[in-house]
Amino acid sequence: MEMLLSRRGLVLSLILFLVKFSTAIEIPLSVQQVPTITKQSKAQVAFPFDEYFQLECEAKGNPEPTFTWTKDDKPFGFSDPRILVYNNSGTFRVPNDGHIAHFQGKYRCFAANKLGVAMSEEIEFIIPNVPKFPKEKIEPLEVEEGDPLVLPCGPPTGLAPLHIYWMNIELEHIEQDERVYMSQDGDLYFANVEERDSRSDYCCFAAFPRLRTIVQKMPMKLTVNSLKHANDSSSSTDIGSKANSIKQRKPRLLLPPAERGPQSPVTILRGDTLVLECFAEGLPTPQVDWKKVGGDLPKGRETKENYGKTLKIENVSFRDKGIYQCTATNFLGWATHDFQVIIEEPPRWKKKPQSGVYSTGGSGILLCEAEGEPQPTIKWRVNGLPMEKNPFADDVPFPREISFTNLQPNHSAVYQCEASNAHGTILASANVDVIDVHPLIQTEDGETYSVVVGARAFLHCEFFASPEAAVSWQKVEEVDPLEGERFHVHKNGTLQLNGATEEDAGQYSCWVVNAKGRAALTASLNVRNATKVRISPASPRVPTSHALELHCETWCDAHLKHSLRLSWSKDGEAFALNGTEDGRVTVDGGSLTISAVTLGDQGAYACSAQTELDSVAAATRVTVLDVPDPPEQLHLSEKQDRSVRLTWKAGDDHNSDISEYIVEFEGNKAEPGRWEELRRVRGQETTVVVPLAPYVTYQFRVMAVNEVGRSQPSRPSDRHETPPAAPDKNPQNIRVQASQPKEMIIKWEPLKSMEQNGPGLEYRVSWKPQGASVEWEEETVTNHTLRVMTPTVYAPYEVQVQATNSLGAGPEPQPVILYSGEDYPDTAPVIQRVDVINSTVVKVTWSTIPKDRVHGRLKGYQINWWKTKSLGDGRTHPKQVNILRFSGQRNYGMVPSLDAFSEFHMSILAYNSKGAGPESEPYTFQTPEGVPEQPTFLKVVKVDKDAATLSWGLPKQLNGNLTGYVLQYQIINDTDEIGELNDINITTPSKRSWHLSNLSAMTKYKFYVRACTAQGCGKPVTEEMTTTGAGSKSIGKIPEGVNVTRKMRPVEAFEPGAEPIVRLLTKSWVDNNSIFEDVIETRGREYAGLYDDIATQGWFIGLMCAIALLTLTLLTVCFVKRNKGGKYSVKEKEDLHPDPEGQSGKDETFGDYSDSDEKPLKGSLRSLTRDTQATGSADSLVEYAEGEQGLFGEDGSFIGAYTGSKEKGSAESNTSSSAAFPLRA
């Protein structure tokens, strides 16, 4: 077996060794020896609820001892058949059958063999009686108000402790106070009774908790007669004076009772609690006070309870003896009583006799000394018999010792010493064993010990020998015994090896030799590497609320890793295995994590690594940073009209230096309670002179700032009031507003409360025409606005505003230039000409209006236009006005987004900040033809293996006279490759279908159709289609509204080996025939073998039916969607196979505009195969309209801003479309 040592347990091991060496030698049971009591009962109480009672007595010895008992110093036998005796033991058990009273007494156990007799201490067996109050008739008590009274309790005797309570029949406690008191004996005292003390159910209860018993005395009735009823014929004045003269009296002691005299003795055992009580009757109720005659009451151990009537002194000692005096007083006199306190003590050992092992011819002495109060008496016994019956004549007895010489083997015996006084008896036994034996080694041979480098190792060689033996240790391979400072052999044979090294590992032998012989054993020592530990990070500094993670790194010997255990502690208190209960601190082996650090987490953290051989720890100091505590003790000094010195004391910086202080003030009359920052101060300073404003009652507070953050504000300083003064500044941001011509509403930013400097704030407003040598007009107001009417419209004025208060005016103000109110322009500009740029854009030129006709600041010109009719069909249009504004002083602009091939009317007006002036006469112009929009649809209505028939719709907007269509098509594949583009020019505008032939079978095509005018062709509409295979015909993508004639070849006509395939295709919704149509195809012979006989299988037929049902369901859903107006977009196919040349450039972005029809700007499209004349927006946009936030300038950037409106009375339009470019208002 490998014996394990740890460095942490080293000190404990040393202490155990020293204790072992100082005690008696343990004799092996294999050696003959006198008996020794090893276990015995204490005082035993027979509780009625126990099942049995047991008295224990165990002993050891060689030969094995026998046991006898005495009861009350007389032999006690086990003749009672109820007694159960344990074998090889002195213990016996008595069952609780209810009849055990005769077992009560004091028992003693004796264990004897041929060498001696051991005796136990006295064991008291107590059989308590059930306590009861005696049955008695208690006469009612009747007393007068003010009389003293004692209600006796007289509790029955019983097993301590005893608790006494006074309660009524409802089990409510009788209230005790200065007037009413219950003594330690249980009696209830009244210093003077009152009428409210009358009741018929005063009950005394005695509780015995160890017996689980509470007993009650019979209720007592008390009647208190009030003095005011004593003589009904007497007046109240007579009654009151009589009561005062008879009942008021000086104190008289009721407790202690008068028969004890002026002084009574009190005996208390040392270490107990002294309780003295003193109660006096009298009227008024006396007050009780305590003192120690000739000394002071012991501070810290004395308490006064029950309104001073009880004095308690805990853990009394001999210095507490003396005279204690209680004094009861009222205004009529006083009464005293002295308590003579005597401190005594039961016996306690000063020197106990010690057992010993002696060899033949030896000598010895047994000492027995005890102390106590009174002084204990000493009695000796030998083998349980009085000293007078000592069988050893050579013994020399004295009161406190016994000596003996020339011991022989027959002198073995047990000596007992008893010390007794009035408070108890104590017993001590000493074994005298005379033995001659060769050494007996008690440690197992061949033990293996382990130790870490640098630690102490202990190799055991415990033995017993008489006479005394010599012990030596040596390494097995060495001859000489171990010597030197590193080696020490203890008396019990253990070898202590200090500062173990790797060279100390190996085999060791222990030799024990005495006069009777010798004995030896061997032991092995393993030396392991010491465990090391380190914590990272070292000395971390962490702000509060942040997370902290500590890591514990360890280096451990490979032989010790299996036993390595890590634990964490803070300031010496260990963390639980998984951290704290709230989960804020978690421990996971070598990691300790604190999720939200608080100030309480600051401290020394240690990681302990423990193995079976050693225990080491590493520690680190965690410093928690937090915002500073608020500054304290703010003080104002050097008080001036415009400054004051503020001084403060810095608070705790919580481990982070204060970088600055923020001084705030409160005193703004407009915002009371609002704190504003006044000054910042360096962290090294705690005083500052702060500037002040006049007419403010200041209060200051300070906040400290460190790297973590800002502290809470300090407590406010005392208030400091500054005297008023004239304003230091004038209002700012002077401006004008006007709602009507010639008006000036002058406004400014009023002075803040802190800028007013005094009471009676007003504003002196002055104004005059700019540059005029006239007197200033002036008006004083209290608010921050003034309305002035001027003789002219939009005229410049010099305006100045000066602040004044009751103490004077502010500095000289600086004038600002403001304009009087504007009026509407009173004349209209004239459109000079309209130049057509293209079919959708025109350039307008107009004459500007004179400056004096603007009556304000000219903001720009506004063009209104509306479409009157279409030139293509001659249809007239209701008036729906479009608006386009041009900012600034200019005489031309570009108007985009017009409908091609149409007639328009246009007017113009000027506008300023007040609003728009009169409108000019309408100007009529027309736009030329443009390119059409794309056809409304393109559909493949019939598909053969080498031909297809197409149909398309008329464009929504023709934008001119239609000249025909361009049809283009090309082959497309599922890859990115596309075929050559083919063109067909259709010059008949009314033709909207075309039959294509000479197409390739089973080939996918894409078709493009464009509508054309004299100006060119528009955007294409596209469609895709796949031709059918050889020998079959089908309808490609059947669009809405196209009927397809059913064509079917009989099944008999299929080629031999061909497989019929049934496809369900959508039929036109025009007729009421079946919504499905069968199209039969055949596959080539090469597939014939793959499908032989499959069509005859039942599962195949079922599968086909299921597919048909599913398809029917899907088509029904599509039918419902179509009936709701849904459309199937062709954009997905256009995205997959884009028109290779149909993507024209995006229309240029012109700006914001709108009209009632919301027509988009038109642009030109380039042909897929050839260039066409650009008829759209290919021209320069330099001349385009310019608005307030125009998008182009003269360099080609658009500036115009468009707005839309519908004139009153114009017809409503149902057409709507969005603009083709983003617009800005």
d(CA 825, CA 525): 118
d(CA 843, CA 849): 19
d(CA 4, CA 559): 13
Confidence (pLDDT) at 396: 82
The identity of residue 331, as a single letter, is F
What sign does the CA torsion over 1177, 1180, 1185, 1191 have?
Answer: positive
The identity of residue 110, as a single letter, is F
Confidence (pLDDT) at 1128: 35
What is the average per-residue pLDDT within 370-398?
88
* Residue % of the chain over a pLDDT of 70: 82
Using the predicted structure, report yes or no on whether residue 1048 has a pLDDT greater than 80: no
Confidence (pLDDT) at 246: 59
Confidence (pLDDT) at 994: 94
Using the predicted structure, report yes or no on whether residue 1133 has a pLDDT greater than 80: no
Using the predicted structure, report yes or no on whether residue 1160 has a pLDDT greater than 60: no
d(CA 565, CA 820): 91
Using the predicted structure, report yes or no on whether residue 679 has a pLDDT greater than 90: yes
**C-alpha to C-alpha distances, 581 to 584, 587, 603, nearest whole angstrom:** 8, 11, 20
Confidence (pLDDT) at 327: 95
What is the average per-residue pLDDT within 534-542?
94
State which H helix or E strand residue 239 sits in. Answer: helix 236-247
Short-list 770, 843, 878, CA closest to 1186: 843
Confidence (pLDDT) at 1121: 60
Short-list 1005, 1002, 1010, CA closest to 1023: 1005
State which H helix or E strand residue 69 sits in. Answer: strand 66-71
Strands 541-543 and 615-625, sheet pairing: parallel
d(CA 1121, CA 1115): 10
Confidence (pLDDT) at 1053: 30
Using the predicted structure, report yes or no on whether residue 690 has a pLDDT greater than 80: yes
Strands (E), 1067-1108: 1076-1082
> Using only C-alpha atoms, what is the Rg of the chain?
61
d(CA 497, CA 449): 12
d(CA 790, CA 770): 13
CB 46 within 8 A of CB 126: yes
The tens digit of pLDDT for each residue in 904-952 reads 999 999 999 889 999 999 999 999 999 999 999 999 999 998 999 999 9
Confidence band, pLDDT 50/70/90 cuts, at residue 728: very high
Q: Which residues contact 160 (CB under 8 A, 6 or more apart)?
A: 210
As a whole number, the mean pLDDT across the chain is 82
Short-list 240, 62, 216, CA closest to 146: 240
Confidence (pLDDT) at 100: 85
Using the predicted structure, report yes or no on whether residue 240 has a pLDDT greater than 60: no
Cα dihedral 1032, 1036, 1039, 1044, rounded to 10, equals 0
**C-alpha to C-alpha distances, 93 to 41, 124, 144, nearest whole angstrom:** 12, 15, 60
The tens digit of pLDDT for each residue in 1135-1144 reads 433 443 333 3
First to last CA, the chain: 98
Retrieve residue 1088's tokens: 């014939």
Confidence band, pLDDT 50/70/90 cuts, at residue 2: very low
d(CA 141, CA 152): 12
Q: Is this structure's pTM higher than 0.85?
A: no
CB 62 within 8 A of CB 93: no
Strands 830-836 and 842-847, sheet pairing: antiparallel
Confidence (pLDDT) at 510: 95
Confidence band, pLDDT 50/70/90 cuts, at residue 24: low
Using the predicted structure, report yes or no on whether residue 1224 has a pLDDT greater than 60: no
What is the average per-residue pLDDT within 573-592?
85
Confidence (pLDDT) at 1108: 87
CB 609 within 8 A of CB 530: no
Using the predicted structure, report yes or no on whether residue 20 has a pLDDT greater than 90: no
CB 284 within 8 A of CB 330: yes
Using the predicted structure, report yes or no on whether residue 280 has a pLDDT greater than 60: yes
Q: Is the peptide bond before 128 cis (omega within 30 degrees of 0)?
A: no
- Among the listed ranges 14-18, 478-482, 778-782, which one has the minimum average pLDDT value? 14-18
d(CA 310, CA 296): 17
d(CA 428, CA 445): 37
What is the average per-residue pLDDT within 1107-1123?
77
What sign does the CA torsion over 1020, 1123, 993, 1064 have?
Answer: positive
d(CA 952, CA 966): 12
d(CA 311, CA 326): 9
User: How many CB atoms are located within 10 Å of the residue 785 CB?
Assistant: 13
The tens digit of pLDDT for each residue in 940-955 reads 999 998 999 999 999 9
d(CA 90, CA 215): 39
Buried b (16+ CB within 10 A) or exposed e, 101-120: eebebebbbbbbbebbbbbb
- Among the listed ranges 157-166, 322-331, 595-604, 1198-1207, which one has the minimum average pLDDT value? 1198-1207
Short-list 1176, 1159, 1220, 1150, CA closest to 957: 1159
DSSP, collapsed to helix, strand or coil, labels residue 1054 as coil
What is the average per-residue pLDDT within 720-729?
93
The more confidently predicted of residues 164 and 1118 is 164
d(CA 732, CA 515): 120
The more confidently predicted of residues 1180 and 154 is 154
Confidence (pLDDT) at 976: 66
The identity of residue 452, as a single letter, is V
Using the predicted structure, report yes or no on whether residue 277 has a pLDDT greater than 70: yes
Tell me the three-class secondary structure of 662-692, residue by residue: EEEEECCCCCCCCCEEEEEEECCCCEEEEEC
- Among the listed ranges 85-89, 641-645, 968-972, 976-980, which one has the minimum average pLDDT value? 976-980
Q: Please, what's the largest Cα pairwise distance for the chain?
A: 163
Confidence (pLDDT) at 1098: 65
* Residue % of the chain over a pLDDT of 90: 63
Using the predicted structure, report yes or no on whether residue 5 has a pLDDT greater than 60: no
CB 486 within 8 A of CB 408: no
d(CA 1018, CA 933): 5
Using the predicted structure, report yes or no on whether residue 7 has a pLDDT greater than 50: no
The more confidently predicted of residues 35 and 872 is 35
CB 376 within 8 A of CB 368: no
Q: Which residues contact 611 (CB under 8 A, 6 or more apart)?
A: 6, 531, 556, 557, 560, 563, 564, 565
CB 524 within 8 A of CB 448: yes
Confidence (pLDDT) at 1120: 64
User: How many CB atoms are located within 10 Å of the residue 873 CB?
Assistant: 8
Q: What angle do CA 705, 709, 711 make, to 5 degrees?
A: 60
d(CA 532, CA 31): 48
User: How many CB atoms are located within 10 Å of the residue 319 CB?
Assistant: 9
DSSP, collapsed to helix, strand or coil, labels residue 1172 as coil
Confidence band, pLDDT 50/70/90 cuts, at residue 158: confident
If phi > 0 it is left, if psi is from -120 to 50 it is alpha, else beta; for residue 101 that is alpha
DSSP, collapsed to helix, strand or coil, labels residue 977 as coil
Retrieve residue 444's tokens: 């197992």
Q: Classify residue 55 as exposed, middle or buried by CB count within 10 Å of its CB (0-12, 13-18, 19+).
A: buried
What is the average per-residue pLDDT within 83-100?
88
